[in-house]
Structure 1
């Protein structure tokens, strides 16, 4: 059974690749910058840390909105809209959870990572094909997000929860976005070649 919808061909496909390249690269760079900032600001769940915690899912929400506007009608567009709404709710929930300390924040991030990771895998599967490649960086990142989200909730219920893991999560996600952008850039320069 096919796991992807028909992708546009010719100039339309090149335009979609270019749009996704810019989106993935921007999303990746922002995630890496966020990880660097959060590494030095999360020792205490204070106003700065909470602001950064709220900003991260908002970055994802804005990225989903941009992606939604450029996507063709279909299931992957609806999943992208769902992920954008989910990320907006996660930002609000993290802002509230910040008042309760580390464990509530990890629970919220964990739940968000599980659901958004599953949505990312679904979109990646639907975008697989000769025009956009096999999307393996997005599929791996989505799968890892799901697993890491489960781990966050287990850690949040333990005796010594820590927010250190969030910088690692953002760094990994950012790198996968940058890799996917690089693969799309390679495909845009070599439209006749298949890419991973």
Structure 2
């Protein structure tokens, strides 16, 4: 094996390990957030608004970590875009929280649509022999996109509720953890040569 090939293999293995930790941490944080928000959103008060701001900031921090671990290319640009988008979403949710449930659903829904689409793009670019099929990432991104549309429809309806946001975060957390487990399985297969 050439030095260049060995270096690329090491980077790929390191990238896979970094993504595994990132996805697992992101999933656990999403589940913890969902649990906290489920008990704090009856009124859109300071505690609820703080949690609303924190959720996209978790995504922004994850995007930054992912961006730093990703080699140059379009995938890296998409993670940078998603980090900026999530930071702006956090600011917008902080402002929207003062207006109550309807503006929060509109802002969260718009963010879910765009960030879901970005997640699908990243999942498609990561499909391959080293990082697997990325099905959990693709499904999660698609569901985020569809959920965002639904939230905006619900916000325009007669009975808007923030209950859906805990469900959203729970689903996202489960998909991130599943993707981490599949990456761990892929790493094991590549180590043992059973792919």
CA RMSD in angstroms, aligned pairs only? 1.0
Equivalent position of 1:105 in the other structure: 104
Equivalent position of 1:71 in the other structure: 70
Change (3 A) 1:12 1:87: same
Tell me if the contact between 1:9 and 1:131 (Cα under 8 Å) persists in the aligned partners.
Answer: no
* Corresponding residue SS for 1:109: helix
Unaligned runs of 5+ residues in structure 2 are 1-6
State the aligned residue count: 187
Change (3 A) 1:45 1:17: same
Q: TM-score by structure 1 length?
A: 0.94
Equivalent position of 1:11 in the other structure: 10
Give 1:190 deviation, angstroms: 1.9
Give 1:189 deviation, angstroms: 1.8
Tell me if the contact between 1:187 and 1:193 (Cα under 8 Å) persists in the aligned partners.
Answer: no
Give 1:127 deviation, angstroms: 0.5
Give 1:193 deviation, angstroms: 4.1
Rounded Cα–Cα distance in structure 2 between residues aligned with 1:94 and 1:193: 47
Give 1:17 deviation, angstroms: 0.6
Rounded Cα–Cα distance in structure 2 between residues aligned with 1:11 and 1:71: 13
Rounded Cα–Cα distance in structure 2 between residues aligned with 1:57 and 1:126: 23
Equivalent position of 2:20 in the other structure: 21
* Corresponding residue SS for 1:110: helix
Equivalent position of 1:118 in the other structure: 117
Unaligned runs of 5+ residues in structure 1 are 1-7
Change (3 A) 1:139 1:193: farther
Rounded Cα–Cα distance in structure 1 between residues aligned with 2:177 and 2:39: 23
Tell me if the contact between 1:60 and 1:87 (Cα under 8 Å) persists in the aligned partners.
Answer: yes
Equivalent position of 1:163 in the other structure: 162
Rounded Cα–Cα distance in structure 1 between residues aligned with 2:72 and 2:103: 37
* Corresponding residue SS for 2:161: coil
The structure with the larger Rg is: 2
Equivalent position of 2:40 in the other structure: 41
